[in-house]
Structure 1
């Protein structure tokens, strides 16, 4: 799954390709740990916007940090994961695009959308490299756009 990270040409093209999946330009890209942080940062650079990492099992560094957190529904391993970030990183008025390498159940994207909306920002959608959604309705509801469909791999 991660062999393609060694290809510099592919890495150079990946951010712009993911950025091009939506016509609306975000003000912020959100990427879940771990590979979403990598492809999300590449996409943010291609768009010329900021990036926020959505961390797993995140805890405030100090008591004064205000965090937003959500627990996902079951993921591809049937786990429930707690995602979050510091509340001040996503602001009201932001237009947020989530970027990840793979979408399977949609649980991460649903949690991300909920976090974004709690912050008063607007959710654009989820861009991913591979769409392996098990519930096709989520492709439209979230919405999810991808570079590859798992059925073609």
Structure 2
């Protein structure tokens, strides 16, 4: 109930606004990897499915709650993927600069005004185009048809 108006829709609008600046590419992701590296879920012993805000931090940095990582485990694979994409972005401005990268196996396309591309970072890396388009249109209409929305669009 709160996720769409407070997080997802705001992210959607901010991403679209930022596409006006081509020198600053926009890459959007949804983090759905559920492993022992989701430190907040582990720390608070949350058994519900899904990831929490900032769970990806456990894949980038070792902390007091980081478990021992077994080579080639789901944690190891997810961690190597996240680190590779974040360092690629820092180095090249593109999280997937090589189409033949066997570890990633996906090209993460930019988000543009015409196409919202979301990379789902889970057990697999899956690119989705025009992420939840119907839901975003609903929130657009709700916000722009509201009294405060009309005030700014007149």
Instruction: State the TM-score, normalized to the length of structure 2.
Output: 0.23
Give the number of the structure whose residues are more often strand, by fraction. Answer: 1
Give the number of the structure whose residues are more often helix, by fraction. Answer: 2
Larger Rg: 2
Asked which structure has the greater RCO (Cα within 8 Å, sep 6+), the reply is 2
Instruction: State the TM-score, normalized to the length of structure 1.
Output: 0.23
